[in-house]
Amino acid sequence: ANEERSFIAVKPDGVQRGLVGEILRRFETRGFKILALQLVHPSKELLSEHYSDLAGKAFFPSLLAYMQSGPVAAFVIQGKGAVKIGRVMLGATNPQDSAPGTIRADFALDIGKNVCHGSDSVEAAEREIGLWFPQGLKSYTRAVDTVLYE
Ligand code: DAT
Ligand code: MG
């Protein structure tokens, strides 16, 4: 259960604004292990797969254009409650509704430029990790994990 994984990405606006380190820091200091880390220029094919559940939405074309406007910092976090806590740390999809202290509330104003992505279920995380890291992941141990968990 401490091995749960989530796919997190800093979107192009977050990369342009220099927020990669700050966002990564929040997940690291919370205790999550960074399992993979890569700057990606996503193809339209990758993004269409990633957001396939939104293909029918009116904002889908602009969402894909936005996600292709620059590199995305893609990473995988691992730890207890990674998916749910990841979503909580991101905040509500619309930054106008995000709780203070969340990434979207602290760094964004517009739903179309909401800085970050996080998987919304364990199944989605597995699918997204496979899409963004087709090379696979290699796990490793950290001494701190024996201190973090009871
Ligand atoms: P989330 O990213 O919180 O999982 P989602 O999966 O419903 O939200 O949507 C994916 C992204 O699409 C979201 O981060 C921003 C964009 N988006 C969602 N709803 C939108 C809307 N009504 N108008 C414009 N962009 C939207
Ligand atoms: Mg989503």
How far apart are the CA of 55 and the centre of ligand 1, in A?
12
77 contacts: CB under 8 Å, gap ≥ 6: 5, 6, 8, 27, 32, 33, 34, 35, 86
Q: How many CA atoms lie within 13 A of 116 on its CB side?
A: 33
Roughly what angle, to the nearest 10 degrees, separates helices 82-90 and 20-30? 140
Report if pTM > 0.95: yes
Catalytic positions, please? 117
150 contacts: CB under 8 Å, gap ≥ 6: none
pLDDT at position 1? 79
Q: Could you read off the pLDDT of 117-140 as tens digits, one per residue?
A: 999 999 999 999 999 999 999 999
- DSSP-assigned letters across all residues of 2-26: TT-EEEEEE-HHHHHTT-HHHHHHH
Question: Which of the residues in the chain have pLDDT under 50?
Answer: none
pLDDT at position 110? 98
- Give the residue, out of 60, 93, 107, 116, with the most ligand 1 atoms within 8 A of its beta carbon, to mutate for a pocket test: 93
pLDDT at position 141? 95
Measured from the Cα of 53, ligand 1's closest atom is 6
Distance CA 66, CA 60 (A): 10
Q: Return the residue matching tokens 């997940």.
A: 27
Query: What residues pack around ion ligand 2 (CB closer than 5 A)?
Result: 120
Distance CA 40, CA 73 (A): 6
